[in-house]
Amino acid sequence: MTRKRSLSEGLEFLLHNDRQRLIHGVLKGLYLRPSDSLYDDYFQDACLLFATAYVDFDREPLTDTEDFLHFAYQRIRWRLLDRIRRARWQADNNELSLDNPLLSETQKEILTIDPHSADPAAGAAHKEVIRQLKQVATPKQRRYLHAVFDLGLSDSEIARRYHESRQTVYAWRQGVIKRARANQILP
C-alpha cells in the first residue's frame, strides 16, 4: 500500500533538480511566453497542477520519475489548455455583453436601442445600423440579419427555417460581428 503524498511534497519535488523546466516547456508548447501578461499566473497554476499530479500518481514518483514527469506534463498541458480555451470562449462571448467594462456608455446605448421604441430617434438609429450592416454583409449574413431583425427569430429558429446547423448560424452571426467591427459599425 502506498502512503498518501501531500501537495507540499509535490512542490518540493518540483523544486528539486530544476524540474521547473518541465513547466516552462508546457507553457512554451502552449505558445505562452514570459512577456505575456498572464504568464506568471499560468506558471503558478502549473506548479499547483504539478503538485496535484504528484499526489495523484499511482506509483512512487521517486522511483518512477520518468513516467511521473510524463504524467505530470500531460496533466498540466491539458488542464492549462482547458483553462485557456475557457478564457477565450468567455472573452469571445463577453465582447458584446453590456457587462464588458471596455464598452463606453455610447456603445452600450447603441447595443440597447429598442427597435420598437416610440422614440423616433431610437428607431432611426436602429434602422441605420442595420442598413450599414446589410451593406457590408455577405448574402448569408444578410439572410441572418433579415431573420433576426425583420422576422425576430432566434438562432435555433433560423437554423430550422434555413435547414442549417446552429453552428452555421452562429458562424453567420460571428461573421456579421467581425464585419461590423472591421467597418467600424459596432464597437
Q: Nearest CA to 7 among 44, 53, 43? A: 53
Domains of the chain: 7-94 (no CATH), 105-182 (1.10.10)
Nearest to 141 by CA among 111, 99, 183, 98: 183
Terminal C-alpha separation, the chain: 60
Q: Is the pLDDT of residue 167 over 70?
A: yes
| Structure confidence by residue, pLDDT tens digits, 33-49 | 999 888 999 999 999 99
**Chain center to CA of 60:** 37
Mean residue pLDDT of the chain comes to 82
Rounded CA separation 148/154 (Å): 7
What Cα–Cα distance (Å) separates residue 174 from each residue in 28, 116, 137?
30, 24, 11
Question: Phi first, then psi: what are they for 4, rounded to 5°?
Answer: -75, 125
Instruction: Please say whether the beta carbons of 94 and 100 come within 8 A.
Output: yes
The three cell numbers locating residue 37? 501578461
Dump pLDDT digits (tens) for 93-125.
655 555 666 666 665 555 555 555 555 555 666
Predicted local confidence at residue 113, as pLDDT? 55
Q: What is the pLDDT of residues 127-144, one digit of tens each?
A: 777 888 888 888 988 888
Q: How far apart are CA 123 and CA 127, in angstroms?
A: 6
What is this structure's pTM? Answer: 0.52
